[in-house]
Amino acid sequence: MGLFDGKVGVILGVANEFSIAWQIAKYLHEQGAELAFNHLPDRDEKKRMERRVRKLAEPIGAKVIHPCDVSKDEDIAEFFSVVRQTYPQIDFLVHSIAFAPREDLQCPTLMASREGFKVAMDISAYSLIAVTRAAAEFMRDGGAVLTMTYYGGEKVVPGYNLMGLCKATLECAVRYLAYDLGPRNIRVNAISAGPMKTLAASAVGDFDEMLGLHRSVAPLGRNVRPEELGKAAAFLLSDLSSAVTGEVLHVDCGYNIMGAPGRSIKELLAKQEADRA
| Catalytic annotation present for 160 | yes
Q: Estimate the crossing angle of helix 48-57 against helix 20-30, to 10 degrees.
A: 30
From the candidates 150, 151, 179, 255, give the one annotated as an active-site residue. Answer: 150
CA distance 265 to 251: 23
Residues 6+ apart with CB under 8 A from 137: 80
Give the tens place of pLDDT for each residue, 233-251.
999 999 999 999 999 999 9
What phi-psi label fits residue 154: left (phi over 0), alpha (psi between -120 and 50 degrees) or beta? alpha
The pTM assigned to this predicted structure is: 0.92
CB 230 within 8 A of CB 236: no
From the candidates 27, 87, 151, 160, give the one annotated as an active-site residue. Answer: 160
For the chain, 277 residues long, give each residue's pLDDT as a single digit of tens. 799 999 999 999 999 999 999 999 999 999 999 999 999 998 877 889 999 999 999 999 999 999 999 999 999 999 999 999 999 999 999 999 999 999 999 999 999 999 999 999 999 999 999 999 999 999 999 999 999 999 999 999 989 999 999 999 999 999 999 999 999 999 999 999 999 876 555 555 566 777 888 899 999 999 999 999 999 999 999 999 999 999 999 999 999 999 988 777 677 666 666 777 6
| Catalytic annotation present for 150 | yes
All domains in the chain, ordered by first residue: 8-200+224-254 (3.40.50.720)
CB 207 within 8 A of CB 159: yes
CB 35 within 8 A of CB 57: yes
